[in-house]
Structure 1
Amino acid sequence: MSDAGDKVARIRELNDNFRKTFAGGMMMMTASVAALPEMVRSAAWLKVSEFDAWDTGNDPHHEHDFINFELCNRNFFWKCDYYAPDMNSGSEDPSDPEKTVRVGLLMLAEDY
């Protein structure tokens, strides 16, 4: 595997771990998700952590950094972004957890 392929595989591994465990970064939600009933929010976070329906349509770069799903007749998105440790700019290398803070954002499709 090439160096680029190795980096993508490492980014995917880190993103999957973050998404499944919520460890290694910060999980956030938009105000519209926060306003939903607690049981809907909880079910949405569970869907994020259990998601495994990756295909070229939702994962063209093979990083597992974006998902969408339907729950309670609402369309949800979750997006993972990569920041530098100071949170003032993007990470220079998302494959390096020492140089990256992952931020996952759960939103309704209409928030996007």
Structure 2
Amino acid sequence: MTAIAESCPEGMSKAKTHAARVAKLNDDFRQGRTRGRFFVTPGIIKLSKGAPDELLSLVRNYNTFTRDENPYGENDFGSLDWRGSKVFWKIDYYNLDLTGGSPDPTDDSVTVRCLVLMLAAEY
């Protein structure tokens, strides 16, 4: 029992460290400090001519993560209300040729971050 009790805090610490690293990389990406890809859905484009740019600006400055939206602490999802529309954004992690998931989201040398901005109804 002692071995299990001693190993759990270390495992939890590693998970928190991993989540904190991913969150930092996600924040850097959202805020334009690192490279990645941004996508907007047809619903966002149809909102208005300036909607995609205005919403991406809001996403870059987003810092109201809730436990429900961010249960793993990776800062990879958010929601906001914009002119009466519920908008979601989501970051996913892909391998370099975008054919599958990243082997390690904590390593930008093997990861392409992709942010999709969408209406909640498109999720």
Q: Fold conserved (TM > 0.5)?
A: yes
Any stretches of 5+ residues in structure 2 without a counterpart?
1-9
User: Which residue, out of 1, 12, 16, partners 2:27?
Assistant: 16
- How many residue pairs are counted as aligned between the two chains? 112
The one-character-per-residue Cα deviations of 1:88-111 (angstroms, maximum 9, x if unpaired) are 110111001011100000000011
Q: Is the 8 A contact 2:45 2:51 kept in 1?
A: no
**Aligned residue for 2:65?**
54
**Aligned residue for 1:93?**
104
**Aligned residue for 1:84?**
95
- Structure 1's consecutive aligned runs of 4 or more residues displaced over 6 angstroms after TM superposition are none
Aligned counterparts of 2:15 and 2:80: Cα–Cα separation in 1: 29
Structure with greater helix share of residues: 2
SS in 2 for 1:38: coil
For the aligned residue pairs, the C-alpha RMSD in angstroms reads: 1.4
Shift of 1:21: 1.1
**Aligned residue for 1:41?**
52
SS in 1 for 2:107: coil
Structure index of larger Rg: 2
Any stretches of 5+ residues in structure 1 without a counterpart?
none
TM-score (normalised: structure 1): 0.92
Shift of 1:22: 6.7
TM-score (normalised: structure 2): 0.84
Shift of 1:35: 2.2
**What is the percent sequence identity of the aligned residues?**
33
